[in-house]
Structure 1
Amino acid sequence: MTDAMPSFAHDLPFDPTHGYTREELLRVPAPAAPGDFEAFWRGRHAEALAVDPRPEVGPLVEERDGVRVHEVTYTSVDGLRLGGWLALPADGPAEHGFVIGHGYGGRGEPGPDMPLPLPRSAAILPCVRGMAERGTVPGIPSEAAEHVLHGIGSRESYVIGGCVADLWCAASALLRLVPELAGAPRLGYLGESFGGGLGALALPWDDRFAAGQLTVPTFGNHPLRLTLPCTGSGESVRAYHRTHPEVAEVLRYFDAATAATRLRKPVLTAPALFDPSVPPPGQFAVHNALPQGEPHVLAAGHFEYDGLDAATAALTKAKAEFFGRALG
């Protein structure tokens, strides 16, 4: 692995590499956990598992890439009824299952997450609370800059904890709808950006998942992120922190890198060397913290550049190979 960094022309007022070399990125640590970090998250997980998801399958949306895609709704913690999409094999029973998170801004359709990493798979693609278009909830902002601050005054009320629970409840809904997936851990998780950070927070506590894949994950190493400008939701948190420094204590419980130190299952990461939206040092902090992390380093994230299509194809291939080993 060389220490060379990509160079992209841009008009941003800051350097999206933040001056780090590749080798320096691979040394970014995870912050220490609060003393009751595990107890907090195991309690949240137990609360989510106690929810009856009551999934309901809606109309067929489309059939392609070997699956039939339906609308789906399910219940999460706080009694919230959320929506998303359900992908079922077009022929035969499902042999694998996936919960697929989304980036900030939600998802208007399931298209970009197809095809699934493995054939003969089922998947649920939820819209977490507050996110368009099927997770909108009165009182929770849908815009990323406001959503990321919702309830941030305490660890109990912070919306990010609810979003993690939405993923756990989505897994419950999938297993209810596709009972052949129950039993030994046969679920995989995929998430990008916002969904990558949520995945790092969700996976350590849920034994129903056998493996995960996190692309340009956010929420890694909050103390460092608070010092780094960006164009993503982290900038709103930075601005809020300047007038509410006490929020740093709440953020300790929602650090994806801290959670990753507790993640005892294989994870394929795709951190980027250059990223204006999610600072690369935070992304690499998540990867570096993983006991069983496999890196697939990207030149850039959240940025259009020559070669992006080839990079996307290479990551798609890497995901299939990884889950073929982890779930096969």
Structure 2
Amino acid sequence: MAVFDLPLAELRTYRGASAEPADFDAFWAKTLHETRAHELAARFEPVETGLRTVRVYDVTFAGFGGHPVKGWLTVPAATDEPLPTVVEFIGYGGGRDLPHTHLLWASAGFAHFVMDTRGQGSAWSGGDTADPVGSAPAVPGFMTRGVEEPETYYYRRLFADGVRAVEAARAHPLTDASRTAVIGTSQGGGVTLAVGGLVPDLVAVAPDVPFLCDFPRATRLTDRSPYREIGTYLKTHRGRTERVLRTLSYFDGVHFAARGRAPALFSAALEDQTCPPSTVFAAFNSWAHADKTIEVYDFNDHEGGGTHQEAVKLRWLPARFRDNT
């Protein structure tokens, strides 16, 4: 697929088409207040994995509604002091998988906490967290579950889980709560943006080719899933476009970006049909903190920078942690 979106010069200034709800902050304050009414109850159980350079803990904590959410905490084997911590969120359809698939950040000397994704983890990597909340009629996938109202939408639960994942990671004695970063790719990048806008004291935020941004443009520009799930829903449920877009506006990464208080490293791919580059740039250009940069991959689709972007983050994140020492 050749470049199909705005020219790069226009991407550099594009800020999105989503109208921010007047009660956006009140909605999320209420959501987190209700979520925190449940005890975090973070548990860390050592796991024997056969790995000798790291220690792994099977994590359970209370997310939205007090529902149990799983994760892995991985730390260098020789660690006995609190470490800078990287909290990671997973792409669409994936789960936390097995511990040996998450070795990069512990190998770099950090604590690494990966959050399982409620109700997912059956497409390309396995998960262990159920979503006990039911849904009205929806298109298969997660994009339209409860989409008629912000209070019932699936991503309300997932974003609240993401905030609690940071709190759970910080609860372990081998993590340095004052040096916490959040990262993720695609859906994980969308959760990263939400958490970056909701948690005020992170030291770094790194969303790669983030999903869940600039819904009004994304849902009309690409016919690739998962955004197409919304189009399919509206094709069937005629006349509900305004209502659905109102719900989605509470979950738009552009609005969370406007509240970003940490240095940020984004990435975008100019041939990305899954998360069109204009939607990514809308969030990047809206990111509130002045220390921000975006890596652009000219001839890549949704794979974005892949391992090359990991190398960029391996250079970028340590400097942010040192700045906060």
Deviation at 1:66, TM superposition (A): 4.5
The match for 2:194 is 201
Q: Are 2:227 and 1:234 aligned? A: yes
Please show how residues 167-246 of structure 1 align to structure 2 within 5 Å.
167-178=162-173, 181-182=176-177, 185-242=178-235, 243=238, 244-245=240-241, 246=243
Determine helix, strand or coil for the equivalent of 1:168. Answer: helix
TM-score (norm 2): 0.85
Which of the numbers 63, 74, 82 marks the counterpart of 1:76? Answer: 63
Check whether the contact 1:88–1:94 (CA below 8 A) recurs between aligned residues.
no
User: Which stretch shows the higher mean deviation, 237-246 or 191-200?
Assistant: 237-246
Deviation at 1:315, TM superposition (A): 1.3
Tell me how far apart the structure 2 counterparts of residues 70 and 144 of structure 1 sit (CA, whole Å).
35
Q: CA distance change for structure 1 residues 80 and 228 in 2, over 3 Å: closer, same or farther?
A: same
Q: CA distance change for structure 1 residues 189 and 301 in 2, over 3 Å: closer, same or farther?
A: farther
Q: Percent identity?
A: 24
The match for 1:297 is 296
The match for 1:11 is none
Tell me how far apart the structure 2 counterparts of residues 250 and 106 of structure 1 sit (CA, whole Å).
24
Determine helix, strand or coil for the equivalent of 1:58. Answer: strand
Letter in 2 for 1:18: F
Letter in 1 for 2:75: L
Letter in 2 for 1:226: T
Deviation at 1:256, TM superposition (A): 0.5
Structure 2, gaps ≥5 residues long: 122-126
> Deviation per CA, 1:221-280, whole angstroms, max 9, x where unpaired?
111112112322111012223422121111111110122111121110011111132222
The match for 2:275 is 278
The match for 1:150 is 145
Determine helix, strand or coil for the equivalent of 2:306. Answer: helix
Q: Are 2:118 and 1:129 aligned? A: yes
Deviation at 1:70, TM superposition (A): 2.8
Q: Are 2:4 and 1:18 aligned? A: yes
The match for 1:160 is 155
The match for 1:316 is 310
Deviation at 1:64, TM superposition (A): 5.1
Cα RMSD of the aligned pairs, angstroms, is 2.5
Tell me how far apart the structure 2 counterparts of residues 86 and 229 of structure 1 sit (CA, whole Å).
36
Determine helix, strand or coil for the equivalent of 2:265. Answer: strand
Letter in 1 for 2:9: E
Check whether the contact 1:203–1:212 (CA below 8 A) recurs between aligned residues.
yes
Tell me how far apart the structure 1 counterparts of residues 68 and 102 of structure 2 sit (CA, whole Å).
22
